Chains A and B, each alone.
Chain A
């Protein structure tokens, strides 16, 4: 097991390197470089351009030098000094901007996963044990519609309903008075008040899929002889279902948690833009729009790395649960 983990971690390194190269290439894609637009922006604001300051920045990121030199300066800055570059729009180092956003993104996604399981598992089990009953049909239709409705459109519809019915704006994670305030207990409480709508919307997309999976998996299990045996021995039906076949049917859930986290992070990007949440999505969009490329590139790099790590965690859990995988290696 230990050897398997080591091997997987080593395999991850080349992937991360390629991801960093791609993120860097994307940073470089827009015409012109960051300093030119930075200088243009400064002079547009009427500031005098500090020639020395520009020179220092040029030196720091190796601008004007061959592209691979720039890449190495960028990567070594991140690895050695934790320097993710400078955001020209925010006039701040990127590292001061991203972590809080990233933490909120991960928090939101994790809560959304838990919520979606909390809904999907009982519903899926009910659907499977009452196959072809009316509630099963209704739930199937709902989950089909749920799979088909993209989160950001749902977010739009929810916002419209809240606005027209309750005359309330549901966007954002914080009330306006806490938006710029430092973290405090009151801010956390305020966030929890706002959290549930985005969480439900983000969770819905994966919930619908999870209901289908639980139902299908459990239906496969229910016909197996061991269920019949347990029933024949007189085990109480509810206990029997939840103790044996459900546990087997849920296996793929826990082993794919890393992947679902990754797809949730990707999926919530658009939802976050619609609901203007203080997560990575809207900030990355803004960075892309204003060609604030160090910021955008950092987000791409971080989100991709999260996915890679998520996949790694999934694989390790899978190997831990199912010995056949680690033996095949």
Chain B
């Protein structure tokens, strides 16, 4: 592989005197494919920022019990629809200090009878990192009570709600952190499922051609004619209501992949078709390599980057589909927590006007989707580092 690439590079630089090759250019010549890809990817600033954001998001998704200050189902009756807790950096004497929050008390507005929350500047509570709080089962395996941040006072006295509290007084931040686990993983698992089916069928289609190709292409064309959202709606409506969360989760993933694989299969097939005619495949065949070896050793590495790029670009639609389905009540249902389920809180426009912070999970969805789009875009550009 590397030899072929170097030849390509030499040909591109034809006419240039070999003597003049500087150290920098030499570095480019001998760089491996992945190195070239990385150099190119690095230039896409938004993609790099997005990678950082995604790493952060997935960290929250993996360690949501630790990141969330409270149990997502815990009610704080005294903080129903409380706005995001204000974090102060400057104390009453005007000194810059460690971030803290004030004691918040609930009062009734004398005119509207709505709950209003008033800060009591007499009692500040500093925010602490790695604080011991409510107990939880880490990944359902062992019991812990360490949280990334929180207040040192017992929860009954004062809570910290970075994104406010919902209708029942549950911490929106904790719920969003837990929701990340389902919402972000459904995209990954769905895409991997689509990829497996897509690679097998797309590979057969592209490598062998002929009748299998025609059949698979017809099936793909057919699946793509059915409008995806109505089909997803109909299929997930058929899932029994009494299924446990895990089962529904996997069923939804399968339903989403039912359409997703066609896209992957197209990409794989296109690559196979292009690659089949390449000289290095022909040489491998002439020296007597087995079909499996040609595919795995020679073809796969050269289109892996394209597959990764298309994978990244198809994750957002999965995340969006899950959010959409759960939002309208056909996907996951409470007590499952996903961003779509959380957004059901925002269904009533009037309550939305009172507590706009229940829309914050939507921001999480949009940021995740945009980040995946940018990373995918950067990867697609970098996938072919030899193109100018």
Contacts and interface: CB of A to CB of B under 8 A. Distances in A.
B307 interface: no
A199 to B, nearest CB: 18
Interface of B is mostly: helix
A191 interface: no
B343 A266 contact: no
A26 B233 CA distance: 11
Contacts of B183: none
A295 to B, nearest CB: 11
Contacts of B329: 285, 289
- Interface core residue of B225, B231, B233, B343 (most chain A CB under 10 Å): B225
Contact of B366 (A149, A159, A267, A269): A149
A270 B370 contact: no
Interface string A285-316: 10011010000110110011011100100000
B323 interface: yes
A198 to B, nearest CB: 15
Nearest to B346: A156
A265 B227 contact: yes
A26 B234 contact: yes
Contact of B373 (A30, A144, A163, A296): A144
B370 A311 contact: no
Interface in B349-381: 349-350, 352-353, 356, 359, 362, 365-366, 369-370, 373-374
Interface residues of B, number: 37
B237 A296 contact: yes
A250 to B, nearest CB: 23
B94 interface: no
A169 B343 CA distance: 19
B180 interface: no
A156 B369 contact: no
Interface of A is mostly: helix
A30 B242 CA distance: 13
Nearest to A297: B234
A150 B324 contact: yes
Contacts, number: 117
A145 B229 contact: no
A307 B226 contact: yes
Interface in A112-162: 144-145, 147-150, 152-153, 156-157, 159-160
Contacts of B233: 269, 284-285, 288
B356 A160 contact: yes
Interface string A238-278: 00000000000000000000000011011101100110000
B225 A311 contact: yes
A199 B374 CA distance: 27
Contacts of A22: 226
Contact of A15 (B222, B237, B365): B222
A26 B238 contact: yes
Contacts of A267: 229
22 contacts: A144-B374, A147-B373, A148-B316, A150-B366, A153-B343, A153-B365, A157-B362, A160-B349, A160-B359, A163-B353, A269-B227, A270-B327, A274-B327, A285-B328, A288-B330, A289-B237, A304-B227, A307-B225, A307-B226, A307-B227, A308-B225, A311-B225
